[in-house]
Amino acid sequence: MSSPLLALRQIVKNYGGVRALRGVDFDLRAGEVHALLGENGAGKSTLIKIVTGAHAPDGGTISLAGQPVADLTPASARALGIACIYQQPALFPDLTVAENLALRLDATSAHARVDWTARRARATALLDRIGAAIAPDTEVCTLSMPEQQLVEIACALGSGARIVIMDEPTASLTQKEQHLLYAVVRDLRKNGVGVIYISHRLEEISALADRVTVLRDGQSVGTHAVGDINEAGLIRLMVGREVAQIYPAAESAPGAPVLSLRGVGCTASGVHDVSFDVRAGEIFGLGGLVGAGRTELARILFGLTPADSGQITLAGETLLLRSPQDAVAHGIAYVPEDRRRHGVVLELPIAQNITMAVHRRLFPTTWLRFGAERALALDYIRDLAVKCAGPDAPGGSLSGGNQQKIALARWLATRPKLLILDEPTQGVDIGAKSEIHKIIRRLAQEGLAVILISSDLPEVIGMGDRIGVMAHGTLRTILPGGSDPHTVMAAALGTAA
Amino acid sequence: MSTAAHAPASFNRYRRDWRALLTRHEMLLLYVLIAEWLFFYFAGTSTNRRGVIVGFGTWDRQFDILRHSCEIGLLALALTPVIITAGIDLSVGSLLGLCAILFGKLWHDAGLSIPVAIGLTLGIGALAGALNAVLITALRLPPLIVTLGTYSLFRGLAEAITRGSITYTDFPETFLFIGQERWLGLPTQAWIFLLVALAMGLLLHRTTYGRAFRTIGLAPEGARYAGLPVERRLALVYVLAGLIAAIAAIIYTARLGQAKADAGTGYELFAITAVVLGGTSIFGGTGTIVGTLLGVAAIAVLKNGLACLPVVMRLNAAEEMSGLFTGALLLAALTASVLPKILSNLRPRRHSSTQSIPPLSP
């Protein structure tokens, strides 16, 4: 038998102190659909970035058809026949399908004449090959998401790709469109193309893939023929052994409910029928896959995208949250997911970042009181053990974990009733991570109601006193803290395991 | 207290570095201003046939510079917070014209007393600013386009009201005092200008409003996520710009003793130049009132000084020369402000590119 189309050996990749990949082996044969499975943050995206040449590995070898390839770049990867179809198609929306295809496929010089007839003919041929009923003169912005994905696939075909990577291609597709896509994937396979297929839908994997590799914590934990393993087995591989890390445990029982949601929904952000309570002193873990609607729910509670149905009650008062100011006035604090864009203003000094949400209390006359500001900032710098050059150092001079502490300090300063933390330990090194866990537990212990959104399954299970699992915009189930990770994962995937 | 004991030794040093960084641009501009002034003092001053000192180096000339820079200076003060929020207001010059006309009309045609007419004009200015504010904050239209629209709208209104021909004149002496006389040693309007400068300085540097403006300029989304009232603060900035443009209109009318529809044409561009020259970033977030004042002074001295140079007088090209040198000064200042950053960026990049070249490849 010939050597595989693509062979990755002992691939290592570090981002700063975070080990994203720690020695991954992966094979892809010609005419095979190889599914790649893993939790959020298991290393799938990193692996894809390495195969497409976007990032260089820190160790290991990549071979294509038996030939070792050094320093893969996006351009050389494309030239070698590696194509990637992302969840969000990266086409030029104002150009036609034929023009988009030509931009990707033609290496024309600036002065070459455009042969419109040939362009159109090729576009038609490529689209026909994948059975897509799209006219080459259609502007891309008028196409639906799946149609755009089809154009991407046509592009991959046209470039003579031998390896096609599909990153959750069915995430936004309807049932019918999914089947169309499956047919295209099978057709690619028949033509000897190797497909790396990333998906969270287990039923899809068993229907479509030949083999499946599961990644966990940056390592491959097994490659199996799809016929040899069932869904429960896959979940077991994804989740792995019991939660290894030690999380600070609750020392007292939670008090009365602080927040109550009844049938809360927002059409614009796709959240519907969410009902749960959070008690004082309780950490309510909110788990689920990326896109399940957790951040969207947080944005509703913080007034960024107001709810249009249901009832939100905080400390016995029914709230109408139309803006973040409303939320802040009622004692709701939200530490956002995108720390660098929303959580901390990188150019401003730490002190100003910390006092940003308490202007009214700290400066009641609107006149700034620099001494009081500095004192408050120093209090939190000390309390949360922020490693910094001082309260006047810009927020951007801090490491990720310390920036997160600043974002947290800003909201603690508001003395909230409800604290919503969205991925508080994402991109934070291990040491700072456990520090942040301790802080969160301490805050709950002091009587704060905490909603902890995290894609890190052990974190949600380890920290949460109860765990709400979201999928497809709604709360699927509420599980007790310390639940079996398999149960949580099964709920997040929407299967009954 | 235990604060000092806990804080690392480097806490205070960092603070000083940060301050130095902020003041560097303003200091640079101050040197330029002094150099400019000294140059014109020596090159632009002469003694005429009767033995009287004329040209740049006279007190009269200095007061004249101050008097003439008040209107553009006021507009620059109005634009500083606008630009700090990463916005722009192109309509202030046109609004000056509209307010001047309406002031004249209120006094002359409606027969109102001067103080009442002034009060109403200021209200109209604020209202016109509110129009910009609503379009920008409620409809979320880009400030550049909105104020480009009102730039034409306000000027067009002024011209429609006067049918392009009416000029209001014959204002009472008491009113002209504001624009043509001196009070406590300085041109009267200079006091108004300094008062507005002080108020804006306090607003921008000593209140939570200024904090909000800066935060919005640096990170509009971040400001929203921090619970700052982004829309209300942005609205305030544009309303204030309208109000200050109305004050400038009153002073302009008092200085010239007449109100015409073309009052303040092109002033918005001079004002923006002064603000940017003063170190306010056009991308928002940074800028000071002191910087803006220095920027206004640098442009005013340049413009007046050039007119005093014998060469320029011989060529009769003061206007052209001042445009040319103002532009050169602005570009030089901008280049100087980004140069350190570019230089420091070049070094590490060159470093990393040599690192990333792999040792071998077949």
Looking at the complex, report in whole angstroms how far the Cα of residue B326 sits from the nearest Cα belonging to chain A: 30
Residue A367 and residue A426 in one domain: yes
Average pLDDT over residues A402-417: 95
With tokens 């765990």, the residue in question is A467
Number of domains comprising chain B: 1
Q: Among A217-226, A255-264, B76-85, where is mean pLDDT lowest?
A: A217-226
Average pLDDT over residues A218-241: 84
Q: Among A63-72, A262-271, B238-247, where is mean pLDDT lowest?
A: A63-72
Strands (E), A386-497: 418-422, 449-453, 466-471, 474-480
* Residue B6 pLDDT greater than 70, yes or no: no
CATH number at residue B141: 1.10.3470
End-to-end CA distance of chain A: 38
Average pLDDT over residues B94-115: 96
Helix (H, G, I), strand (E, B) or coil at A197: strand
> What are the CA-CA distances from residue A252 to residues A160, A446, A447, B160 (Å)?
63, 10, 10, 75
Q: Which residues of B touch A70 (CB under 8 A)?
A: 358, 360-362
Helix (H) or strand (E) holding A167: strand A163-167
B122 lies in a domain? yes
CA quadruple B117, B119, B124, B129: dihedral sign = positive
Q: Which residues of B touch A394 (CB under 8 A)?
A: 18
Verify whether the Cβ–Cβ distance B356 to A56 is below 8 Å.
yes
A488 close to A457: Cβ distance less than 8 angstroms: yes
End-to-end CA distance of chain B: 66
Q: How many Å is the Cα radius of gyration of chain B? A: 23
> Quick count: other Cβ atoms within 10 Å of Cβ B339?
10
The secondary structure of residue B281, as a DSSP letter, is: -
Mean pLDDT of chain A: 88
Q: Which residues contact B204 (CB under 8 A, 6 or more apart)?
A: B80, B81, B84, B210, B213, B288, B289
* Residue A294 pLDDT greater than 60, yes or no: yes
B354 lies in a domain? no
Q: Which residues of B touch A57 (CB under 8 A)?
A: none
Q: Closest-CA residue in chain A for B229?
A: A325
pLDDT in the model for residue B7: 42
d(CA A467, CA A480): 6
Residue B107: give the domain boundaries.
Answer: 59-333
Residue in B15, B228, B358 closest to A392 by CB: B15
d(CA A312, CA A420): 15
* Residue A114 pLDDT greater than 60, yes or no: yes
Q: Which residues of B touch A331 (CB under 8 A)?
A: none
Q: Which residues of B touch A406 (CB under 8 A)?
A: none
Q: What percent of chain A has pLDDT over 70?
A: 95
pLDDT in the model for residue A108: 61
Residue in A324, A346, A368 closest to B208 by CB: A368
* pLDDT tens figures, A392-404: 999 988 888 899 9
B177 close to B188: Cβ distance less than 8 angstroms: yes
Q: Closest-CA residue in chain A for B19?
A: A392
* Residue B362 pLDDT greater than 80, yes or no: no
Q: What φ, ψ does residue A235 adopt, rounded to 5°? A: -60, -40
Average pLDDT over residues B94-104: 97
A313 lies in a domain? yes
Q: Among A101-105, A462-466, A480-484, where is mean pLDDT lowest?
A: A101-105
d(CA A326, CA B129): 27
B275 lies in a domain? yes
Q: Closest-CA residue in chain B for A383?
A: B6
Give B84 or A435, the one with higher predicted confidence: B84
pLDDT in the model for residue A426: 81
Average pLDDT over residues A321-347: 93
Tell me the longest C-alpha to C-alpha distance in chain B: 91
* pLDDT tens figures, B145-156: 999 999 999 999
Looking at the complex, report in whole angstroms how far the Cα of residue B238 sits from the nearest Cα belonging to chain A: 20
Looking at the complex, report in whole angstroms how far the Cα of residue A249 sits from the nearest Cα belonging to chain B: 30
B96 close to B256: Cβ distance less than 8 angstroms: no
Residue in B222, B227, B229 closest to A341 by CB: B222
Number of domains comprising chain A: 2
How does residue B317 score in pLDDT terms, banded at 50, 70 and 90?
Answer: confident
d(CA A80, CA A162): 8
A128 lies in a domain? yes
pLDDT in the model for residue B347: 56
Verify whether the Cβ–Cβ distance B226 to A382 is below 8 Å.
no
pLDDT in the model for residue A413: 96
Q: Which residues contact B314 (CB under 8 A, 6 or more apart)?
A: none
Q: Which residues of A touch B213 (CB under 8 A)?
A: none
Instruction: Give yes or no for B359 touching A (CB within 8 A).
Output: no
How does residue A245 score in pLDDT terms, banded at 50, 70 and 90?
Answer: low
Of residues B300, B260, B283, B237, the one with CA closest to residue B70: B300
Helix (H, G, I), strand (E, B) or coil at B141: coil
The two tokens of residue A147 are 């149609």
A124 lies in a domain? yes
A438 close to A406: Cβ distance less than 8 angstroms: no
Verify whether the Cβ–Cβ distance B7 to A304 is below 8 Å.
no
Q: Which residues contact B156 (CB under 8 A, 6 or more apart)?
A: none
pLDDT in the model for residue B284: 93
* Beta bridge mates, B45: B55
A385 close to A377: Cβ distance less than 8 angstroms: no
A249 lies in a domain? no
Residue A278 gets the label, from left (phi > 0), alpha (psi -120 to 50) or beta, of beta
How does residue A2 score in pLDDT terms, banded at 50, 70 and 90?
Answer: low
Of residues A48, A60, A41, the one with CA closest to residue A217: A41
Looking at the complex, report in whole angstroms how far the Cα of residue B361 sits from the nearest Cα belonging to chain A: 7
* Residue B351 pLDDT greater than 60, yes or no: no
pLDDT in the model for residue B18: 55
With tokens 């362009």, the residue in question is A119
* Residue B360 pLDDT greater than 60, yes or no: no
Verify whether the Cβ–Cβ distance B225 to A328 is below 8 Å.
no
* pLDDT tens figures, A63-100: 988 889 888 888 888 888 899 887 777 889 899 999 88
A251 lies in a domain? no
A182 close to A35: Cβ distance less than 8 angstroms: no
pLDDT in the model for residue B5: 38
Give B265 or A75, the one with higher predicted confidence: B265
Verify whether the Cβ–Cβ distance A390 to B6 is below 8 Å.
no
Residue B266 gets the label, from left (phi > 0), alpha (psi -120 to 50) or beta, of left
> What are the CA-CA distances from residue A47 to residues A43, A74, A85, A239 (Å)?
6, 14, 14, 19
Q: Closest-CA residue in chain B for A322?
A: B227
B64 lies in a domain? yes
Verify whether the Cβ–Cβ distance A327 to B227 is below 8 Å.
yes
* Residue B263 pLDDT greater than 50, yes or no: yes
Looking at the complex, report in whole angstroms how far the Cα of residue B166 sits from the nearest Cα belonging to chain A: 45
Verify whether the Cβ–Cβ distance B285 to A394 is below 8 Å.
no
Residue A222 and residue A264 in one domain: no
* Residue B353 pLDDT greater than 90, yes or no: no
* Beta bridge mates, A139: A96
A157 close to A126: Cβ distance less than 8 angstroms: yes
Q: How many Å is the Cα radius of gyration of chain A? A: 25
* Residue A241 pLDDT greater than 70, yes or no: no
How many helical (H) and strand (E) elements, i.e. helices and strands, does chain B have? 15, 4
A390 close to B8: Cβ distance less than 8 angstroms: yes
Interface of A with B (CB under 8 A): 56, 70-71, 302, 304, 324-325, 327-328, 334, 336, 341-349, 352, 356-357, 359-360, 363, 366-368, 375, 378, 382, 389-394, 410
> What are the CA-CA distances from residue B139 to residues A205, A308, B143 (Å)?
46, 21, 11
* Residue B227 pLDDT greater than 80, yes or no: yes
Looking at the complex, report in whole angstroms how far the Cα of residue B341 sits from the nearest Cα belonging to chain A: 15
* Residue A16 pLDDT greater than 80, yes or no: no
Mean pLDDT of chain B: 88
Q: Which residues of B touch A322 (CB under 8 A)?
A: none
DSSP B154-217: HHHHHHHHHTTT--B----HHHHHHHHSEETTEEHHHHHHHHHHHHHHHHHHHBHHHHHHHHHH
User: Most confidently modeled of A151-160, A209-218, A291-300, B114-123?
Assistant: B114-123
> What are the CA-CA distances from residue A202 to residues A181, A221, B24 (Å)?
16, 17, 60
Residue A454: give the domain boundaries.
Answer: 257-493
A158 close to A101: Cβ distance less than 8 angstroms: yes
Q: Which residues of A touch B12 (CB under 8 A)?
A: 390
Its pTM stands at: 0.79
How does residue A154 score in pLDDT terms, banded at 50, 70 and 90?
Answer: confident
Verify whether the Cβ–Cβ distance B14 to A393 is below 8 Å.
yes
pLDDT in the model for residue A103: 84
To the nearest 10 degrees (0 to 180), the angle between helices B92-108 and B114-133 is: 150
* Residue B13 pLDDT greater than 50, yes or no: no
d(CA B132, CA B235): 8
Residue A235 and residue A263 in one domain: no
Q: Closest-CA residue in chain B for A394?
A: B18
Q: Which residues of A touch B208 (CB under 8 A)?
A: 359-360, 363, 366, 368
Q: Which residues of B touch A385 (CB under 8 A)?
A: none
d(CA A242, CA A248): 16
pLDDT in the model for residue A203: 79
Looking at the complex, report in whole angstroms how far the Cα of residue B353 sits from the nearest Cα belonging to chain A: 14
Residue in A342, A391, A410 closest to B221 by CB: A342
pLDDT in the model for residue B21: 55
Helix (H, G, I), strand (E, B) or coil at A14: strand
Q: What is the ipTM of this complex?
A: 0.86
Q: Which residues contact B218 (CB under 8 A, 6 or more apart)?
A: A345, A347, A348, B284, B285
* Residue B359 pLDDT greater than 60, yes or no: no
* pLDDT tens figures, B121-137: 999 999 999 999 999 99
The two tokens of residue A96 are 């036609």
pLDDT in the model for residue A351: 96
CA A350 to chain centre: 28
Verify whether the Cβ–Cβ distance B215 to A375 is below 8 Å.
no
Residue in A343, A363, A389 closest to B14 by CB: A389
B35 lies in a domain? no
d(CA A287, CA A458): 10
Residue A234 and residue A263 in one domain: no
B176 lies in a domain? yes
How does residue B2 score in pLDDT terms, banded at 50, 70 and 90?
Answer: very low
* Residues in chain B, total: 362
d(CA B68, CA A79): 65
CA quadruple B301, B302, B308, B310: dihedral sign = positive
CATH number at residue A286: 3.40.50.300
Average pLDDT over residues A364-377: 95
* pLDDT tens figures, A448-462: 999 999 988 888 999
B162 lies in a domain? yes
pLDDT in the model for residue B122: 98
How does residue B39 score in pLDDT terms, banded at 50, 70 and 90?
Answer: very high
Q: Which residues contact A316 (CB under 8 A, 6 or more apart)?
A: none
* Residue A117 pLDDT greater than 50, yes or no: yes
Half-sphere exposure of A309 (CA within 13 A, CB side): 13
> What are the CA-CA distances from residue A199 to residues A171, A195, A251 (Å)?
8, 12, 39
* Residue A183 pLDDT greater than 90, yes or no: no
pLDDT in the model for residue A172: 65
Residue A303 and residue A266 in one domain: yes
B4 lies in a domain? no
Instruction: Give yes or no for B232 touching A (CB within 8 A).
Output: no
Q: Closest-CA residue in chain A for B16?
A: A392
> What are the CA-CA distances from residue B338 to residues A156, A349, A386, B284, B333 (Å)?
42, 21, 32, 15, 9
Verify whether the Cβ–Cβ distance B207 to A368 is below 8 Å.
yes
How does residue B140 score in pLDDT terms, banded at 50, 70 and 90?
Answer: very high
Q: Among A199-203, A265-269, B74-78, B239-243, where is mean pLDDT lowest?
A: A199-203
